[in-house]
Structure 1
Amino acid sequence: MNATHTSEHKKLEADVVVCGGGPAGINAALAAARGGAKTLLIERYGFLGGMSTIALVYPWMTFHTMEGKQVIGGIAQEIVDRLMAEDASPGHVRDTVGFVNTITPYDPEVYKILIHDMLREAGVKVLLHSFVDRVKTDGDRIARVEITTKSGRYAVHASQYVDTTGDADLAYLSGAPCLQGRDGDKLTQPMTMKFRMRGVDLDRVKQYMLDHPDEFYKKTPFAELPELPLSGVLGYYKHWKEAALPINRDQVLFFIGPGPDEVLVNTTRVQGLDSTDVSDLTEAEVLGRKQVRMVADFMKGLPGFEQARLSSVGTQIGIRESRRIEGQYALQVEDVIEGKPMDDCIARSGYPIDIHDPSGKGVTAAWVKGDGAYDIPYRCLLPQRIANLLVAGRCISTTHETLATTRLTPSCMATGQAAGTAAALAAAQGIAPAEVDVALLQQRLREAGALLRQ
């Protein structure tokens, strides 16, 4: 993939181009390259990791069902194993919030380096500081994508493209139908500016929880808490209510780590703004940082936070929901809750539906029945109108309500691996992704460690 000059653009060619370097894009690029495709990964920031690194989305939730059965493996688990080998993750640990069975803490700075090592091992070419701003189509196919870089503009040609931008940018620019927000008012789940605090006395936090269980989430595993390492906390209801901060939320949520006296706070809430509109996104960034200061000052008054200090804030605000494709099938709420079997299943998840209210204070949750996991069908990765495009991660085809589970990082990792595997098969056979033999795709995924319904 050597660049050549034309009168207007430098040119890059690959079999598979992956746009967006978050967890879905990383796993898609790894899967495509390991499947024999010459693969290019494009990312607009100066580092990879998407919301996991850019917005401090931490920890990863979840690889398991509520009963503790692992349902996400493959490349996602390989990354966890390699982080553990570098002492950068304890692996899957009990969620002391009690919302799910396990969460997976990790060191984002090690993750940033590790994934570059893995991509290089697989032969993926990575372009950072590269912004996709134009897509040229020829009939129902993407002919090329155009990117702006520090060294000028590039025209990028491939037989297959994978959109892992989170915002369905590639699909939107290509003319594939997209949806946004809930039915009616089109409002999306709120954005959150996450931040870390150091100097937290976690022993004091745990003791306060044991002494005041009524101030914390009802699913907190209090009976096990004395023996469990604290991994997350949801509550301090009384303190939050008394503070009356101008933030439309009803509790404090934070997770422990990566440092031994460090927490990641997920409590700010910016509502009513469109993260795909540059003016709204600008306002969200400003509001989010103002809320960080308010929440951090408030938390210094909580038991265990007397000596704590603000240590870092996300590079950008965290985005739960924006555009999603209108695909060949939209995953429905009942598909998730009932754990409906899908013949074209390419990934599974055990994370509940978890809707942060677009306009109110609360969170609406619903857990998966049956064996505790649901199937994500291949059809959800296939957009309408554009034949040589796959989509993975947050912007696959779902309803607004169902996106509240598929948006979680391990699920995005799993759909990313599926999309990359399918793209490599399509490129090798000279066919469209919709023509890929699903049974063969499932076989390749299982061979690579993916955990599909038996």
Structure 2
Amino acid sequence: MCFLKRELEFDVVVAGGGPAGINAAIASGRTGAKTLLIERYGFLGGMSTIALVYPWMTFHTSSGKQVIKGIAQEIVERLIKQGGSPGHLRDTVGFTYTVTPYHPEKYKLLALEMLEEAGVEVLVHSFADQVEVEGIQITSIKLTTKSGPITVSAKRFVDTTGDADIAFLSGAPCFKGRDHDHKTQPMTMKFRMRGVDLAKVKAAMKANPRNFYKKTPIDELDELPLTGVQGFYKEWNESGVPINRDQVLFFAGPEEDEVLVNCTRVQGLDGTDVFDLSQGEKEGRKQVLMMAEFLQRKIPGFEKASISAVGTQIGIRETRRIDGQYALTIEDVVSGRKFEDTIALSGYPIDIHDPTGKGVQANDIQGDGSYGIPYRCLLPKQIENLLVAGRCISTTHEALATTRLTPSAMATGQAAGTAAALSITENVPPKNLNINKLKAILLEDGAVL
């Protein structure tokens, strides 16, 4: 007979097993802190594996300087050795300098292996839906599981749920969407197609460059592997497909005849509302079939293609974010601002998918092409033993359009996990941590600051 433990105790608990949570838990575990990673699905990877967010964009600035390394780069290098990634490749869309294709199934297993190596315990099929608070401290979180409720207590908690679930349930103040109407960036149901002739796609791009994104490196396509395509404007504008966007966008891989299609757009719904999510899942899958039929009928190279996979759930770009000790702004990003408490850099430009319209607002980063993410963005107000990483850190709606990207989430995850464990060792609240000591450890562990 199996007797389930109803109460668990750890030094650090990380809630949410996406890229931010994986890196946070690895960083914490490597310090020797007794660490638990909790995930509601039966596998890890967050939006990268649940919603087929692919490829990872980007580890570099627009000039090609790598500004995200550390655990994130270690994951890429280990995937390369396992045949799970070709590494960083030039972005043939031209929106960023590089993209990083990866095999989602190999990433799922590698994450578990690295967590085990770091001494981290992993609990999947577990949903955190209650948070117990005394004063300004979280004492425990309650998990709903197949085998009944479980209570997990810890000295430090790291919220990497993407939706700021732990922060919100603890009473920490949060924001959602745009300031004036709280509408969020649209959801997208991503899907893969096999049987695509990428040589025909390349030929179409070279034959009519004006039909594609203005920064597409058309002149370099003979030398570069095709990693992404944005355009086919003429075909899309004539299609009559009732999806509120302005172009076709897809990325090559991971197989030679395979692409990931990022074209559906579900607007006006709240990713933290179960009724909206239910509606979004249905609408997203309807759009997948419409989009696939259009590609097969109108886009060169897709004549014999077919759907090979659809996201386990619809992809979420934006929901809640914390009201933290500092909120990163679009001005900070565009000016390439660095901070005394910078704990991560990013070179991904502003990329706001319009909550109500067709287009995307894009803003490049000035200066050296990177901006800093302050440690204060990981610290919520009112709750002292909680850190946040990934999509739900403290930013404005506009700045979230860059910090939400996977490599940035990996970098903030490493910083949050390191800070959580270090604050226990130093016996200080995370907000009182010596920032120079934290930065020194991050640099020693390969981060770029």
- Select the residue among 42, 53, 56 that pairs with 2:49: 53
Following superposition, the deviation at residue 35 of structure 1 comes to 1.4
Following superposition, the deviation at residue 389 of structure 1 comes to 0.1
User: What letter corresponds to residue 43 of structure 2 in structure 1?
Assistant: F
Aligned equivalents of 2:331, 2:165: Cα separation in 1: 28
CA contact under 8 A between 1:17 and 1:39: conserved in structure 2?
A: yes
Aligned equivalents of 1:339, 1:211: Cα separation in 2: 37
- Select the residue among 6, 26, 42 that pairs with 1:30: 26
Aligned equivalents of 2:220, 2:294: Cα separation in 1: 29
Matched position secondary structure for 1:126: strand
Q: Does 1:441 align with 2:438?
A: yes
Matched with 1:173 is 169
Aligned equivalents of 2:54, 2:76: Cα separation in 1: 13
Give the TM-score, by structure 1 length.
Answer: 0.98
Q: Does 1:421 align with 2:449?
A: no
Identity of aligned residues (%): 67
Following superposition, the deviation at residue 16 of structure 1 comes to 0.1
Matched position secondary structure for 1:300: helix
Aligned equivalents of 1:151, 1:132: Cα separation in 2: 14
Give the TM-score, by structure 2 length.
Answer: 0.99
Query: CA offsets per residue over residues 179-226 of structure 1, 9 Å max, x none?
Result: 000011110000000000000000010001000111111100011111
- Select the residue among 122, 126, 139 that pairs with 1:126: 122
Matched with 1:300 is 296
Query: CA offsets per residue over residues 142-201 of structure 1, 9 Å max, x none?
Result: 010000111111110000000000000000000000000001111000000000000000
Q: 1:257 to 1:428 in 2, by over 3 A?
A: same
- Select the residue among 86, 91, 95 that pairs with 1:95: 91
Aligned equivalents of 2:226, 2:426: Cα separation in 1: 50
Moved over 2 A (4+): none
> Which residues in structure 2 correspond to 1:9-20 (within 5 Å)?
10-20=6-16
Matched with 1:231 is 227
- Select the residue among 360, 363, 373 that pairs with 1:376: 373
Q: Does 1:197 align with 2:193?
A: yes
CA contact under 8 A between 2:188 and 2:263: conserved in structure 1?
A: yes
Aligned equivalents of 2:339, 2:313: Cα separation in 1: 36
Gap regions ≥5 residues in structure 1:
none
Matched with 1:347 is 344
Aligned equivalents of 1:135, 1:182: Cα separation in 2: 27
Following superposition, the deviation at residue 428 of structure 1 comes to 1.8
Matched with 1:388 is 385
User: What letter corresponds to residue 89 of structure 2 in structure 1?
Assistant: V
Query: CA offsets per residue over residues 117-166 of structure 1, 9 Å max, x none?
Result: 00001110000000001000000000100001111111100000000000
Query: CA offsets per residue over residues 44-72 of structure 1, 9 Å max, x none?
Result: 00000000000000000000000000000
Matched with 1:139 is 135
Following superposition, the deviation at residue 431 of structure 1 comes to 1.9
Matched position secondary structure for 1:375: strand
User: What letter corresponds to residue 447 of structure 1 in structure 2?
Assistant: E
Aligned equivalents of 2:343, 2:268: Cα separation in 1: 34
Matched position secondary structure for 1:365: strand
Aligned equivalents of 1:430, 1:55: Cα separation in 2: 39
Aligned equivalents of 2:81, 2:105: Cα separation in 1: 15
Matched with 2:322 is 325
- Select the residue among 188, 197, 207 that pairs with 2:203: 207
- Select the residue among 349, 361, 364 that pairs with 2:361: 364
User: What letter corresponds to residue 61 of structure 2 in structure 1?
Assistant: T
> Which residues in structure 2 correspond to 1:212-223 (within 5 Å)?
212-223=208-219
CA contact under 8 A between 1:4 and 1:11: conserved in structure 2?
A: no
User: What letter corresponds to residue 445 of structure 2 in structure 1?
Assistant: A
Aligned equivalents of 1:88, 1:125: Cα separation in 2: 24
Aligned equivalents of 1:137, 1:294: Cα separation in 2: 47
User: What letter corresponds to residue 25 of structure 2 in structure 1?
Assistant: A
Following superposition, the deviation at residue 430 of structure 1 comes to 2.5
Aligned equivalents of 2:313, 2:68: Cα separation in 1: 28
User: What letter corresponds to residue 151 of structure 1 in structure 2?
Assistant: S
Following superposition, the deviation at residue 4 of structure 1 comes to 7.1
Matched position secondary structure for 1:243: coil
Aligned equivalents of 1:363, 1:150: Cα separation in 2: 41
Matched with 2:286 is 290
CA contact under 8 A between 2:338 and 2:373: conserved in structure 1?
A: no
Matched position secondary structure for 2:143: strand
Aligned residues: 447
User: What letter corresponds to residue 240 of structure 2 in structure 1?
Assistant: A
Matched with 2:334 is 337
Matched with 2:153 is 157
CA contact under 8 A between 2:12 and 2:35: conserved in structure 1?
A: yes
User: What letter corresponds to residue 214 of structure 2 in structure 1?
Assistant: K
